Amino acid sequence: MIELTVPSAGLNAHYDITDEITERLRAHGAGDGLAGVFAHGSTVGLTVMRYEPGAVTDLLRTLERLAPDGERTYLHELTTGDPNGFSHLKSSLLGTSLLVPFLGGELGMSPSHRVVLLDFDLKPATRRILIDPPRPSQEDPQ
């Protein structure tokens, strides 16, 4: 298992972690296959997207319509006292894990697509990303 950390500013911060994932997989000696990428936490999300300002804004606006930040009627707040119910909902809607292809030392995606971490929580935090690398290929012993 490979771990990387991302210092996050919190509330709708977003980070392109594609190059870091690729570098870590190479350094680990990962073989060709699918790499599992998991964001540790219930107020973050992972996606593969075209990482440019318009697309990020569109995604954040869509999630905001589904789970508005300003609402204070989330039952999560009533049961825990924590006013970040919207953060948990956005995380659940986006998801916290991905499978990405790794082939020939590169992520097998279009160059315009990136692996993006989004942080929906109210405060800054260091976010952990766990990566399960594809196993190196075993040469035929013949």
Which residue stretches of 15-112 are H helix?
A: 18-28, 53-66, 75-80, 85-94
Label residue 58 exposed, middle or buried (CB < 10 Å: 0-12, 13-18, 19+): exposed
CA distance 83 to 74: 8
pLDDT band at 141; cut points 50, 70, 90:
very low
**Longest alpha-carbon distance in the chain:** 66
Q: Which segment of 28-32, 71-75, 110-114, 123-127 scores lowest on mean pLDDT?
A: 71-75
CA distance 76 to 64: 17
Of 13, 29, 34, the C-alpha closest to 102 is 34
Does pLDDT of 88 surpass 80? Answer: yes
Cα Rg of the chain (Å, integer): 17
N- to C-terminal Cα separation, the chain = 30
Q: What is the pTM of this model?
A: 0.92
Residue 110: how many CB atoms within 10 A of its CB? Answer: 9
Q: What pLDDT is stored for residue 71 in this prediction?
A: 67
The CATH number given to 2-132 is 2.60.120.460
CB-CB contact of 39 with 45 (8 Å): yes
Q: Which secondary structure element, helix H or strand E, spans residue 40, and what is its range?
A: strand 33-40
